[in-house]
Structure formats: structure tokens, C-alpha cells
Amino acid sequence: MLEDIIIVGIVMAISELVKGALKKAVPEDTVKQLIPLIVLGLAGVLNVANAAIFAPDIPLVQALGQGIALGAVAGGVYSLGKAGLGKS
């Protein structure tokens, strides 16, 4: 399987792209509410795909749970970065 840090990085990159697209379509407050859900869902889906491709012996429900945990990590890393830059 791909390393967790790779999944987190991909989730963060795709989330920023989605956030940019959403800002053009919906109000800023709605974007702030949707992004955490998108991050968790995206991380779950990517980790399930990761498990299905590289480790088919891992149950998909377990991979989904781990993916959601990775999504929480990605959100925490993003929040820490914003706080460190004084943008939170």
C-alpha cells in the first residue's frame, strides 16, 4: 500500500482544488462548512482505492476507517499550518 503521508498529501492537494472551484459557485460560509466533509470523504475513498489496488487482503471497511482517520490528520495538519501563518 501507499504510505499514509502520500494519501494525506493527495487529499490536501485535491481539497485545495475543490475549495477553489467551490468558492466560485457557493458562498464562503458554505465552503467552510463543506470542506471538512469533503476532506474526510475524499480520504476515505482514496484509502479504499489504495487498499483495493495494493493490498486486496485488507477489508474495505477497515481501509475506509483508516482513510477517515487520515482525513482527520490532513485537516489537523492544514489547521496547524494556517495557525502558524497567523491566518486562522
With 70 as the cut, is the pLDDT of residue 65 above it? yes
Alpha-carbon separation of residue 5 from 20, 33, 58, 66 (angstroms): 23, 25, 19, 12
What burial letters (b/e) apply to 26-51, b meaning 16+ CB within 10 Å?
eeeeebeeebbebbbebbbebbbebb
Q: How confident is the model at residue 76, as a pLDDT?
A: 79
Using DSSP, how many helices (H) and how many strands (E) does the chain show? 3, 0
Tell me what the mean pLDDT of segment 35-53 comes to. 94
Q: Which three cell numbers stand for residue 67?
A: 482513510
Asked whether the beta carbons of 23 and 35 are under 8 A apart, the reply is no
Q: How far apart are CA 67 and CA 7, in angstroms?
A: 8
Q: What local confidence, expressed as pLDDT, does residue 84 receive?
A: 74
- pLDDT tens digits, 21-43: 999 999 999 998 999 899 999 99
